[in-house]
Chain A
């Protein structure tokens, strides 16, 4: 049976990132930066139940015009019960690459990394595709996002995007308290971060 493909949302960006407490500033930076650029971030946190996770992830990638794959955390994860590398992010990147190869006008993927040249070692099949190197800094994420997504008009500056990032970061404790959680990697908190980022970006751009 042929699977029905979701409509592609032209300004949606699938974020393939590690849900890791140490990744918190970069997670907020991706949200703030993408929203400030007029894009809509999507993550796997809010996926509806009832369908196999892999199918949901694939549908999410297919529904987004762009995807960002942050391969900063490709090292060995020593958390019990087994020390293993984390395959989820490279695997999802593979899904996006395959999807783009068969539908080049419907999807574009980007790789973000902390370290220069590491990708050549960790994923040499992608040699020839340069990753965006953010250096593990929020400002680096903003810089690379604005290198990747170019608006013909109203391209925000990196300091403006950082201002949105700071506004969202300040609201984190309140948002988590309202969501009744300590983790920022939850669906409701994600929605609230996005909305806060939009409010902050619109205010800065004079769109009240």
Chain B
């Protein structure tokens, strides 16, 4: 008979998961994506996953992307969509 199990352990957070894997904090940071989102004021905030506070705020999306690339040259950068297009709508993330 095929077996199955009921998994009740909570889904680990990214940080817990990284620790479980044995990844160093520095490695986790380099792999952790950076989010660029438009603020109500119209400027762009850069923040890491799990962090409420913006690490940088820049006037344009281009400037924010350039800064994010400096911070994490090999990391994933996710930019909040600010227009509705055929590739995706607002409230979705665009991966650079």
Q: Residues of B within 8 Å of A, CB-based: how many?
A: 30
- A181 to B: closest C-beta gap in Å: 16
Residues of B within 8 A of A174 (CB): 74
User: Nearest CB to that of B76 among chain A residues?
Assistant: A199
CB–CB B93/A191 < 8 A:
no
Residues of A within 8 A of B93 (CB): 203, 208
Give the residue of B2, B11, B49 whose beta carbon is less than 8 angstroms from that of A132: B2
- A60 to B: closest C-beta gap in Å: 13
Instruction: State the main secondary structure of chain A at its contact with B.
Output: mixed
Most buried by B among A40, A66, A108, A198: A198
- For residue A159, CB closer than 8 A to chain B, the reply is no
Q: How many A-B residue pairs have CB under 8 A?
A: 84
Return the CB mask of B69-85 against A: 1 if under 8 Å, else 0: 00000101010000000
User: Nearest CB to that of B8 among chain A residues?
Assistant: A152
CB–CB B31/A199 < 8 A:
yes
- For residue A39, CB closer than 8 A to chain B, the reply is yes
CB contact under 8 A between A37 and B2, given known A195-B23, A202-B14, A208-B49:
no
CB contact under 8 A between A38 and B5, given known A195-B18, A199-B76:
no
CB contact under 8 A between A154 and B22, given known A66-B5, A129-B1, A129-B3:
no
Give the residue of A108, A195, A196, A203 whose beta carbon is less than 8 angstroms from that of B5: A108
CB–CB A149/B1 < 8 A:
no
A110 CA / B5 CA spacing, docked (Å): 10
Return the CB mask of B1-20 against A: 1 if under 8 Å, else 0: 11111111111101001101
* Interface size bracket, A side: 35 or more
CB–CB A198/B14 < 8 A:
yes
Residues of A within 8 A of B17 (CB): 35, 40, 194-195, 198
CB–CB B14/A9 < 8 A:
no
- B7 to A: closest C-beta gap in Å: 5
Residues of B within 8 A of A92 (CB): none
Residues of B within 8 A of A195 (CB): 17-18, 21, 23, 28, 31
Residues of A within 8 A of B28 (CB): 195
Q: List 15 A-B contacts (CB under 8 A).
A: A11-B9, A35-B17, A38-B12, A108-B3, A108-B5, A110-B3, A129-B1, A132-B2, A149-B5, A149-B7, A150-B6, A151-B8, A195-B28, A199-B49, A208-B35
Q: A40-B21, A150-B7, A192-B31 are in contact. List 7 more A-B contacts (CB 8 A).
A: A147-B2, A174-B74, A195-B23, A195-B28, A199-B31, A202-B14, A203-B93
Interface residues, chain B, CB within 8 Å of chain A? 1-12, 14, 17-18, 20-23, 27-28, 31-33, 35, 49, 74, 76, 78, 93
Interface residues, chain A, CB within 8 Å of chain B? 9-12, 35, 37-40, 46, 66, 108, 110, 128-132, 147-152, 154, 174, 178, 191-192, 194-196, 198-199, 202-203, 207-208
